[in-house]
Amino acid sequence: MRYRQSNVRSYIAYFFLQIKQGLQYRTAAIAGAITQFCWGFMLLFIFQAFYQSNIQTQPISYTQVVQIIWLQQAFLAFFVLWFRDNDIFTMILTGSIAYELCRPIHLYSFWFVKLISARLSSASLRCMPILLVAAFLPAPYSLKLPPTMEHFLYFFLTLFLGLVLLVTISMFVYISTFYTYSAVGSMLLFAVFGEFFAGLIIPVPLMPLWLQKIVYALPFRYTCDVPFRIYAGHIGIPEAIVSIFIQLGWILLLVVLGRLLLQKSLQRVVVHGG
């Protein structure tokens, strides 16, 4: 029992250490926020042209799309799959992972804490400037408050669970490096397909119905599509509650699979040298 308590304290201490370290990169965060502003405005104008040129009634309003776009830019570090930790890749490819295996820690939990703290620190530096500026933009380009306080609370809850779910998905990118011996292929594969099925390229309601069925069967949309559409008021409270249970189910399933796959991968690790 004491060993487990000591282990938990070690993970907590490491979490806050990584957060503190990540908050030091303020210049990079400012540059990233400016880039995301430019990208956000480009998307706003593209979708505005689409809505103005299409006389058909769309399943989601332009105002709701605006909310989703600004939330995507503010919390981009939470959900992009090309966000990577080069230290972990270096450990695997150079054999220095042997040092990690000598420590009294569980490698999956150690990497999980490292990855989630990196995303939190990166997003915390960028989200507030983007949200504040977007809130004071003129209509129809401004970020508005959610329809109700319930939507706001469920947005935060699903946002946090979405972050946890995304990290459990990204863990498979690092684990796959034990087999591919390269981080490039897995990273590109997960990034391209993951971001598309998460609704980061095209909002899910604007996709064809046959494609939406595929999207709903995968875990990616529960990382960002669900919380952002809850905030915009496009998803009601009953569906939000159901989505929370689905998020928890995916997290549990992927954590179990990830731990088993990592354990199996470590059995085939060969470290050369003295």
Q: State how far Cα 186 lies from the chain centre.
A: 16
Give the per-residue pLDDT at 2. 45
Residues near 65 by beta carbon (within 8 Å), at least 6 away in sequence = 47, 51, 203, 232
Give the per-residue pLDDT at 256. 94
**Domain chopping of the chain, boundaries:** 2-266
Residue 41, both tokens: 């405005």
User: How many H-runs (helices) and E-runs (strands) does the chain carry?
Assistant: 12, 0
Cα gap 236→45, rounded to integer Å: 27
Cα gap 242→187, rounded to integer Å: 30
Asked if 166 and 253 count as a contact pair (C-beta separation under 8 A), the reply is no
Give the per-residue pLDDT at 274. 43
Give the per-residue pLDDT at 1. 46
User: Which one, of 163, 164, 150, lies nearest residue 240 by Cα?
Assistant: 150
Q: State how far Cα 198 lies from the chain centre.
A: 10
Chunked in runs of 10, what are the mean pLDDT values of the chain (274 residues)? 55 63 63 80 91 83 93 86 76 74 76 84 80 89 92 94 92 83 75 86 91 93 93 93 96 94 77 51
Give the per-residue pLDDT at 13. 65
Give the per-residue pLDDT at 217. 92
Asked if 71 and 231 count as a contact pair (C-beta separation under 8 A), the reply is yes
